Amino acid sequence: MKTQFTPEQLKDPGIAHANQILRKCVHCGFCNATCPTYGLLGDELDGPRGRIYLIKDMLENNRPATEEVVRHIDRCLSCLSCMSTCPSGVNYMHLVDHARVHIEKTYKRTGQDAFLRDWLLPRPALFRIALLPARIMRPFLGLVRHIPSMERVSSLLALAPKGRLPRAEFSSPASLKGEGFRAGRVVVMRGCAQTVLRPQINDATIRILRRLGYEVVLTAKEGCCGSLTHHLGREDEALKSARRNIDAWLAEADRTGLDAIIINASGCGTTVKDYAHMLKDDAGYTGKAQRVAALADIGPMAIKPGLTVAYHAACSLTHGQRIRTQPKDLLKKAGFVVRDVPQGHLCCGSAGTYNILQPKIARVLLQNKVRNIETTAPDVIATGNIGCITQIGTGTKIPIVHTVELLDWAMGGDRPKELAGVELPEEAEAEDITGLQDPTPADDKKTPRAVELA
Ligand code: SF4
Ligand code: SF4
């Protein structure tokens, strides 16, 4: 794609990088075919190619973001499905991140949108407090959902856990010795949303690692990975989170040595692996961020219950980190029958804070996802991201857990409480799923193709 930035504009490293990305795009439009919002809305400007044009026009002309640009960029899930499809290697992730920072600096949001973006969503502590009344109001969800101006509020209520907020078995700071021989020393990053919504995912991860001989370090100095603020365009806050985590983890690495940083929320993993890019203009942190990314880039292990698992590929894992087969391989080795979900490359609508900010589109994506999952008739759904677990859990009665909870159970840990009522097969064998990759949905006609946003 031809660009027309002036030499003066190109002195800005952010613009220079955006220019390099834009120049790789050959306008082929292949990416539109796998974009969930283009598939639902059918508007060129709600697909990656259209958004790339909008961003190019805004940056080249150094224009403040307009309402139109904001509308179409806000609707982007950052699922990165377009990056998996693009034959030219266009780094849409970095381009849209840059555009969001520009929007944040030049566009004034108002009302509910401003409250959610400026106050509630960037502050995990406030978000946690908001979940308390949300639990009480949950029974009124059906009522609230039908009030047009309350759609985002009802989406927030739907995310609140049913019953009491769960408590973590392991808390920080801690250094938990492994069993048997010493395999290594690792940090487990606990994440901000996950520690509130499903701390048992971290507990299962820690148990597995200790059983395998790893000493597990939980540092109290780490915090949110920064992805929520990063995707809201609030760059200063995101970089502050990144620096704090880098300092916390490298202090552990330098003090007693560290073999890996274990991140079990794929959305967080994608952001942590991108710290080096986010901090590329900070000479004091670029090298440190590269060290952290290397420590976060490892693969795990294996063992056995026979249940059929629908594996939901979280976008941040499959498109963002290109980790596609390893979680399924581990589940199969552990004795589970693993089914791929038809149209599994499409987002479930969670996408960080998307399900709160764009509830209409998120709901249709969720309905499609649940319908596709149900065609595989699973006993349980497994996925690697707390956002997906929470989102999909609001649309189906099929139990949904983190992959690591199933692995922990298979290796002698507790059965996840979500599976309390599920009957176990007597003697089930791991199934060969060759040829079952991404089958076409049985009842494709029922898959909504368009969404009415009026
Ligand atoms: S697939 Fe890649 S090169 Fe083609 S239009 Fe999309 S971003 Fe551009
Ligand atoms: S990130 Fe996802 S929603 Fe956004 S343009 Fe790419 S495919 Fe579409």
Structure tokens at 66: 């307009």
Ligand 2 atom with the smallest distance to the CA of 81 is 7
Each residue's pLDDT, cut to its tens digit, for the chain (454 residues) gives 899 999 999 999 999 999 999 999 999 999 999 999 999 999 999 999 999 999 999 999 999 999 999 999 999 999 999 999 999 999 999 999 999 999 999 999 988 888 888 777 767 667 667 766 666 776 776 776 677 677 777 777 777 777 777 788 898 889 999 887 777 899 999 988 788 788 899 999 999 999 888 999 999 899 899 998 898 889 999 999 999 999 999 999 998 888 889 999 989 999 999 999 999 999 999 999 999 988 886 544 334 467 899 999 999 999 999 999 999 999 988 888 999 999 999 999 998 889 888 989 999 999 999 999 999 999 999 999 999 999 999 999 999 999 999 988 887 778 898 888 777 765 444 333 333 333 334 344 344 444 444 3
Distance 42 CA to ligand 1 centre (A): 17
Structure tokens at 290: 């590269």
Cα–Cα distances in Å, from 348 out to 85, 197, 316, 343?
18, 18, 11, 11
Which residue from 243, 251, 233 is spatially nearest to 289, judged by alpha carbons?
A: 243
* CATH class, 308-446 region: alpha beta
- Nearest bound ligand to CA 81? 2
Q: What residue ranges line ligand 1, CB within 6 angstroms?
A: 25-31, 48-49, 52, 85-86, 88, 90
Predicted local distance difference test score (pLDDT) of residue 183: 76
Q: Give me the torsion for CA of 320, 271, 231, 15, rounded to 10°.
A: -90
Ligand 2: residue whose CA is nearest its atom 4: 76
* Residue of 81, 361, 365 with the most ligand 2 atoms within 8 Å of its CB, for mutation: 81
What's the length of the chain?
A: 454
Which residue from 392, 397, 390, 399 is spatially nearest to 418, judged by alpha carbons?
A: 399
Predicted local distance difference test score (pLDDT) of residue 5: 96
* Residue of 22, 27, 35 with the most ligand 1 atoms within 8 Å of its CB, for mutation: 27
Distance 51 CA to ligand 2 centre (A): 9
Structure tokens at 410: 């298979």
- Straight-line distance from the first to the last Cα atom of the chain, in angstroms, rounded to the nearest whole number: 33
- Nearest bound ligand to CA 49? 1
Distance 337 CA to ligand 2 centre (A): 31
Task: Give the residue extent of every domain in the chain.
Answer: 9-106, 111-159, 174-295, 308-446
Amino acid, single-letter form, for residue 340:
D
Phi/psi of residue 6, each to 5°?
A: -80, 160
- Nearest bound ligand to CA 358? 2
Predicted local distance difference test score (pLDDT) of residue 426: 55
Ligand 2 atom with the smallest distance to the CA of 83 is 6
- Nearest bound ligand to CA 315? 2
Ligand 1 atom with the smallest distance to the CA of 26 is 3
- Nearest bound ligand to CA 82? 2
Distance 29 CA to ligand 1 centre (A): 5
Ligand 2: residue whose CA is nearest its atom 2: 79
Predicted local distance difference test score (pLDDT) of residue 449: 44
Per CATH, the architecture of 174-295 is what?
A: Up-down Bundle (1.20)
- Nearest bound ligand to CA 21? 1
Q: Rounded to whole angstroms, how far apart are CA atoms 57 and 164?
A: 49
Predicted local distance difference test score (pLDDT) of residue 445: 38
Distance 324 CA to ligand 1 centre (A): 22
Distance 55 CA to ligand 1 centre (A): 14
Ligand 2 atom with the smallest distance to the CA of 38 is 8
* Residue of 82, 227, 355 with the most ligand 2 atoms within 8 Å of its CB, for mutation: 82
Which residue from 258, 57, 285 is spatially nearest to 175, judged by alpha carbons?
A: 258
Judge whether 9-106 and 308-446 match in fold.
no
* Residue of 44, 49, 76, 95 with the most ligand 2 atoms within 8 Å of its CB, for mutation: 76
What's the per-residue H, E or C state across the chain?
A: CCCCCCCCHHHCHHHHHHHHHHHHCCCCCHHHHHCHHHHHHCCHHHCHHHHHHHHHHHHHCCCCCCHHHHHHHHCCCCCCHHHHHCCCCCCHHHHHHHHHHHHHHHCCCCHHHHHHHHHHCCCHHHHHHHHHHHHHHHHHHHHHHCCHHHHHHHHHHHHCCCCCCCCCCCCCCEEECCCCCCCEEEEEECCHHHHHHCHHHHHHHHHHHHHCCEEEEECCCCCCCCHHHHHCCCHHHHHHHHHHHHHHHHHHHHHHCCCEEEECCHHHHHHHHCHHHHCCCCHHHHHHHHHHHHHCCCCCCCCCCCCEEEECCCHHHHHHCCCCCHHHHHHHHCCCEEEECCCCCCCCCCCCCHHHHCHHHHHHHHHHHHHHHHCCCCCEEEECCHHHHHHHHCCCCCCEEEHHHHHHHHCCCCCCHHHCCCCCCCCCCCCCCCCCCCCCCCCHHHCCCCCCCC
Distance 261 CA to ligand 1 centre (A): 33
Cis, peptide link before residue 173, omega less than 30° from 0 = yes
Distance 36 CA to ligand 2 centre (A): 7
Ligand 2: residue whose CA is nearest its atom 8: 35
pTM of the shown model: 0.76
Per CATH, the architecture of 9-106 is what?
A: Orthogonal Bundle (1.10)
Structure tokens at 409: 């159970």
Ligand 1: residue whose CA is nearest its atom 3: 25
